[in-house]
Amino acid sequence: MTAVPAARPITAAEIAAFRRDGAVLLRGVLVQEWLDLVADGLEECFAERDHMSSEVVSRGATVRADQLLAARSASLRRFADESPVGGLVGSVLAAPVRFYMDQMFFRRAGPMAPTPWHQDISYHNVEGEDLVRAWVSPDPVPRSASLEVVRGSHRWGVTYRPMVGHDPDMSEEENALRMAIARKRGVYEKGGEGFAYRRTVMDKSLPPTPDVPRHRESFDVMGWDYEPGDAILFHGNLLHGAPEGVILERDRRAYAALFAGPRTRYVQRLGQSVPDPPALTAQEPQTGQTLESFGDVFPLVWSPGDWD
């Protein structure tokens, strides 16, 4: 499949902003047909929890995080393969792109569960400079509740440690105690059979993620008022998160698809959090292989010239 053109062309200024800042908000690039597909797919997946669904609770606020949704939702499969988001990612990279995987982050109205600051790339078995996230929602999201990023952090040349999983320097008893203390404070996870953040191993060979909330004044944090029809693109190496202490007036349903350019390569990470697609695991991938080696798993969705 080939991504269809966006509702309007992406501009040279927007491409420059993405490359400079690591993220850009593209206003009004998706028509209602695509928003309806996202809404239908997210509601379908939320209602039918599967083995890749995890519910994270933070002091009474809850977020449902599901993985690999296009594999079980026809609506989201079509959005991933045919919507303009793949072509928009390809436009900022000036390169062909493949659909890598997708996720759902579903929050009901009420207290909003935060997203800890992190990079996407360290949670997946990939590395390189061509991993880009397309973040869309069928709901308006005010700046106070929106995705936030540290401007330019994709150019720091550092891969940070994921902020989840067992500490390998601790015994099983110590790790269990750590989780029990967190649960007593109201922070815990209801993981699925095939996915749970708590089951991963913390890769302590990587440096810890900077504490952006505690030292916010030291970072160039940016965010946006988001409206349905917009798309946020951000680099896989960019530090990003979502704030806490927010009361949502309506549901905040986020669909986040990852696309990969030709410089993205497979790497077996010690601290991998998100499992590989089963079809990839069956091919026994090796560190250093390009995603083009697995074209049946990661389909090409856009190439330069497709929208000429």
Question: Three-state DSSP class for 215?
Answer: coil
Give the strand pairing for 231-235 and 110-111: unpaired
Res. 94 pLDDT band, cuts 50 70 90:
very high
Q: Tell me how long the chain is.
A: 308
Q: Is 8:88 a contact under the CB 8 Å cutoff? A: no
The closest of 239, 2, 293 to 116, measured between CA atoms, is 239
CA 150 to chain centre: 15
The CA-CA-CA angle for residues 64, 89, 308, to 5°, reads 140
Note the pLDDT tens digit of each residue in 177-215: 999 999 999 899 999 998 898 888 888 999 999 999 999
Domains recognised in the chain with CATH numbers: 17-271 (2.60.120.620)
- pLDDT score of 1 more than 70: no
Residue 170: pLDDT over 80: yes
> Which letter does DSSP use for residue 142 in this model?
-
> In degrees, to the nearest 5, what angle opens at C-alpha 148 toward C-alphas 39 and 227?
40
Residue 9 has pLDDT above 80, yes or no: yes
Predicted local confidence at residue 2, as pLDDT: 75
Q: Which helix (H) or strand (E) holds 133?
A: strand 131-136
Task: Assess whether pLDDT exceeds 70 at residue 83.
Answer: yes
Residue range 10-49, pLDDT digits in tens: 999 999 999 999 999 999 999 999 999 999 999 999 999 9
* Beta carbons within 10 angstroms of residue 185's beta carbon: 10
Q: Check: CB of residue 286 under 8 Å from CB of residue 259.
A: no
pLDDT of res. 304: 94
The overall average pLDDT reported for the chain is: 94
pTM of the model: 0.95
Q: Is a pLDDT exceeding 70 seen at residue 61?
A: yes
